Structure 1
Amino acid sequence: MKIRVVFLAACAVLLTSCGSGKNVVKSTPKREVVLETKEEKAPELPQLEQIKRPVTTTTNHTETYIQKFALIAVKKMHEHGIPASITLAQGVLESGSGRSQLALRSNNHFGIKCHRGWEGHSVTHDDDEKGECFRKYKYPETSYEDHSQFLLTRKRYASLFRLRHTDYKGWAYGLKRAGYATDRKYPQKLIAIINKYNLTQYDRVKPQGSLVSKTKTIAAKSYKVQKGDTLYSIARRYNISVRRLKEVNGLSSNNISIGQDLLVK
């Protein structure tokens, strides 16, 4: 009888311990991973406002675009080895000479999508599919730098960097073979833009001397708006008319803001 009582007591203890073990098991809550947005480095070259209209009646949107961004393309050529002519031609083609919504809204001149791991700002835009994620930049130069890094960090473009930076035709056809664009005539379009606007001249700019002088020349032709400035006062300072100042900068009104860069040539 005693043996039976002891046996039943032992079973009760065992069952109690098993039951309590189940009660303490809890599921681990999932943690949400939040990526921090990277801050863009301030550009070294003057970042001019997007111009929606040609500088004069004798120039077109593409010429205006090239005048604005050639120096940045040259700078990236010396830093990364991509022909300035190719970079400019791609910018012209991909951004509609700076007039596309991506360029105007997001300073995205090359239609680069967010892709996996992108930690910067973004904007949605209809492209191959509706509401796709595209990268958004604070400065145009950041878009040009990102374009260089896009080519540098993908193995399929590695063979291009063995070409001379003056071999723009090799680069144009190489980009198509590497899968940069689905358009069968993409190389011919780039080459046509390069030839029409003589973009090869920028491939020959030396890394020193000429580049520095060009930087100073462009810097001298732009003015950063200060507190108290008006279009009239700026026009008088640079001996041009207000009408000309508005035309050069694509302004539809007399409103300007502090820190804004204006062309004053």
Structure 2
Amino acid sequence: MRKILFALLVLGLIASSCGSKKKAARKRDAKKHRTVRVDPKHERKQDENTGKRDNKAKNGRFNPMTISSTEEYIEIFAPIAQDEMREFGIPASITLAQGILESGSGRGGLTLKTNNHFGIKCHRGWTGGTAYHDDDEKGECFRKYDHPMTSYRDHSLFLTSRSRYASLFDLREDDYEGWAKGLRKAGYATDRRYPQKLIALIERYHLYEYDEQVLSASGRKKRHQNKREKTHIVRRGDTLYSISKRYNTTVESLKRTNRLRSNTIAVGQELKIR
């Protein structure tokens, strides 16, 4: 009898030991593989959140403006247009009128998704943001900007860097009628009534007053009234060579006339042209 009890006790101990080892092994296996077993619902939730963060990061720098009226548009962008006039010589009235017309006073569909206030298309060499919009043709490529102010600066660079607009800078800076007609003639817009629309906006909202403020403050208005005196105000990007080509003269002639000892010129400098 004792032998039988002893044998049962030994078998019980062996079984208990094996069970503990199996449980321990299962625990180790579960711990080992815990990091690779993911609840599918949790995984989908993580993917959705990641997608939201990615979209926010991509669009984080895009800052469209909410504008309620043309008057508010003018109030916001008139100082910017005047700054561009001081640096590049483009009438603030023209810049504002184009901005109002092309952007629908900042409320147009293209402007709201691109911050493009001047309807400037991508063109060859553009490396910035882009968006596609139906215009003269379906699905045309337009430039996209982080902020409307960048659109204003690009408008100035666009006009000053293309030779087809060079003749506009021979006009007085307060000659908004000449600028409006010149833009259409140079191919800025296909609308035949583009000049009339710009002029109407300038006169309706008295945008020419912003030109007068810039010219009066800088003393340039008086000089513009003397049509016989041909001068050039140096703008950003100008060189003596580019100026000489614009006025059909030579670099040496410009240097002699203006008593320049080198080819260095500064923005805002007045050069006499002969």
1:183 deviation in Å? 1.2
Aligned to 1:75, the other structure's residue is in SS state: helix
Query: 1:120-168 deviations in whole A, cap 9, x for unaligned?
Result: 1111112122222111001111101111111111111101001111110
Do residues 50 (structure 1) and 58 (structure 2) align? no
Hey, what's the Cα distance between the residues in 2 that align with 1:163 and 1:128? 29
Aligned to 1:205, the other structure's residue is in SS state: helix
Residues 131-146 of structure 1 mapped to structure 2, 5 A cutoff: 131-146=139-154
Do residues 150 (structure 1) and 158 (structure 2) align? yes
Query: 1:45-86 deviations in whole A, cap 9, x for unaligned?
Result: xxx962242xxxxxxx21111111101100000010000000
Q: Any gaps of 5 or more consecutive residues in structure 1? A: 1-47, 54-60, 211-265
TM-score, with structure 2 as normaliser: 0.54
Q: State the percentage of identical aligned residues.
A: 65
Hey, what's the Cα distance between the residues in 2 that align with 1:105 and 1:119? 18
Aligned to 1:189: 197
Do residues 94 (structure 1) and 102 (structure 2) align? yes
**Quick check: which one's helix share is greater?**
2
Aligned to 1:146, the other structure's residue is in SS state: helix
Aligned AA for 2:156? S
Q: Which has the higher contact order (CA 8 A, sep 6+)?
A: 1
Aligned AA for 1:121? G
Aligned to 2:119, the other structure's residue is in SS state: coil
Aligned AA for 2:102? E
Hey, what's the Cα distance between the residues in 2 that align with 1:209 and 1:171? 21
Greater radius of gyration (CA): 2
Seen in structure 2, the aligned counterparts of structure 1 residues 168 and 62 have a Cα distance that, compared at 3 Å, is same
Aligned AA for 2:97? A
Do residues 203 (structure 1) and 218 (structure 2) align? no
Contact 2:64–2:115, Cα closer than 8 Å, also in 1: no
1:114 deviation in Å? 0.7
Seen in structure 2, the aligned counterparts of structure 1 residues 182 and 106 have a Cα distance that, compared at 3 Å, is same
Residues 1-265 of structure 1 mapped to structure 2, 5 A cutoff: 50-53=65-68, 61-206=69-214
Hey, what's the Cα distance between the residues in 2 that align with 1:154 and 1:81? 15
Contact 2:80–2:152, Cα closer than 8 Å, also in 1: yes
TM-score, with structure 1 as normaliser: 0.56
Aligned AA for 2:127? E
Q: Over aligned residues, Cα RMSD in angstroms? A: 2.1
Q: How many residues align?
A: 157
Seen in structure 2, the aligned counterparts of structure 1 residues 208 and 196 have a Cα distance that, compared at 3 Å, is closer
Seen in structure 2, the aligned counterparts of structure 1 residues 84 and 123 have a Cα distance that, compared at 3 Å, is same
Runs in 1 of length 4+ with deviation above 4 angstroms?
207-210
Contact 2:117–2:148, Cα closer than 8 Å, also in 1: yes
Seen in structure 2, the aligned counterparts of structure 1 residues 195 and 207 have a Cα distance that, compared at 3 Å, is closer
Aligned AA for 2:82? V
Hey, what's the Cα distance between the residues in 2 that align with 1:209 and 1:188? 29
1:209 deviation in Å? 7.1
1:208 deviation in Å? 9.9
Aligned to 2:214, the other structure's residue is in SS state: coil
